[in-house]
Amino acid sequence: MTARLRPQVRHSRLRLAFLGDIHGNLPALEAVLAHLDRTQSPDAVYLLGDLVNRCPWNNEVMDVLTDRGWPSVSGNHDLIITRLHTPAIRPPFDERSRFPVMYWTWDHLRPEHIASLHELPAEMTIALDGTPPIRLLHGLPSNPFVGVYPESDAAEIAQKFAGYTEPVIIGGHTHRPLDRVIAGRHFLNPSSVGLPYNKDPRAQYLILDLLPSADGPSWQPTFHRLDYDRQRVADAFRTSGLLTEAGPLAQLYLRTVLNGEPWASDFGYWLKDQPAAVRADIAGAVEAYLRVHGPGRWAFG
């Protein structure tokens, strides 16, 4: 499903904000909100999906976002959460032992928030008269589980987006900032609010300002990175019960919060090629993974 939005312009200038991959990290989101309200005053704010899962404050994050009323596309985590405990769930996500954090999130997330995640569109277009339209989606077309990377093959990405007419594409999923032109189209990614993967653990988001030019108006990106109290996150992993229930896998997510490295995603990439006996023992698998992999030695290659 694709939504087409025409936000109301309140000023002669136009400023839009984009937040992606919050992942239930309330302190990171609060830092972004304070910065937006105090220094940016955007005309509209848009969310790029993966609002929940991986950090403990899923209900609190959804409460804030619901109160703000900001439109969002669906991320892969949002999608899977809505499918847990339904006939729509498919392997490997039907294995609680392999995805204990996701099931913990579902167990604690209030039903109204699961319902609202279910209603999120896969894509949306921001269309304002006299401005370059913007297409929002979490990952690739029809696939929120894969994103556009700085090192992605240009010809392949051009082919994937060949059916799109918008000159600006903004996505999430990779947890890495992106500012790249491919086949004349501007691809942007603000990185992640809650769990960046670019070795910088600060909360990250994107501002677009509409600028006039001789060739017509264009969008000027500015990337923001904000420090926040990450010890508060570490404490909440323990007090919420998330570490107790999800154990070593939750500890990988906490490592990412603290140092901005892709621990759990890299572990998942490594795990899918392991024998069934290894996949059946997540605690042992994490221990085996950490003996071999980490910064400079990622399984991603």
Residue 7 reports pLDDT greater than 60: no
CA neighbor of 176 nearest in space, from 151, 198, 203, 147: 198
How far apart (Å, rounded) are the C-alpha atoms in residues 285 and 100? 14
Structure confidence by residue, pLDDT tens digits, 90-148? 999 999 999 999 999 999 999 999 999 999 999 999 998 889 999 999 999 999 999 99
pLDDT digits (tens, 9 = 90+) for 22-63: 999 999 999 999 999 999 999 999 999 999 999 999 999 999
**Mean pLDDT in residue range 69-88:** 98
CA distance 237 to 36: 26
In the chain, where the domains are located: 2-226
Between CA 226 and CA 244 the distance in angstroms is: 29
Q: Which residues pair with 220 in a beta bridge?
A: 209
Instruction: Summarize the confidence of residues 145-170 as an average pLDDT.
Output: 97
Intra-chain end-to-end CA distance of the chain, in Å: 34
What's the CA gap between 75 and 65, in Å, rounded? 15
Please check whether the domain covering 2-226 is classified as CATH 3.60.21.10. Answer: yes
| pLDDT at res. 105 | 98
pLDDT surpassing 60 at residue 245: yes
pTM of the model: 0.95
Spatial distance between the Cα atoms of 159 and 22, rounded to a whole number of angstroms? 29
Residue 10 clears pLDDT 50, i.e. is over it: no
Cα–Cα dist 47/186, whole Å: 18
pLDDT at position 4: 59
Q: pLDDT tens, 252-277?
A: 999 999 999 999 999 999 999 999 99
Interatomic CA distance for residues 265 and 158, integer angstroms? 25
Instruction: Give me the count of residues in the chain.
Output: 301
Among residues 35, 38, 53, 51, the alpha carbon closest in space to that of 265 is found at 53
What angle, 0 to 180 degrees and rounded to 10, lies between the N-to-C axes of helices 230-239 and 26-35? 150
Helix (H, G, I), strand (E, B) or coil at 70: coil
Q: Distances in Å between the alpha carbon of 285 and those of 201, 206, 297?
A: 25, 36, 17
The first and second tokens of residue 167, run together, are 């000159």
133, 136, 127, 125: which is closest to 170 by C-alpha? Answer: 136
Percent of the chain residues topping a pLDDT of 70: 96
Give the mean model confidence (pLDDT) for residues 68-87.
Answer: 98
| pLDDT for the residue numbered 129 | 86
pLDDT at residue 53, rounded to an integer: 98
**Are 148 and 171 a contacting pair, CB within 8 Å?**
yes
pLDDT tens figures, 191-231: 999 999 999 999 999 999 999 888 889 999 999 999 999 99
Q: Please state whether the peptide bond connecting residue 92 to the residue before it is cis, i.e. omega within 30 degrees of 0.
A: yes
Q: Are 196 and 260 in contact (CB under 8 A)?
A: yes
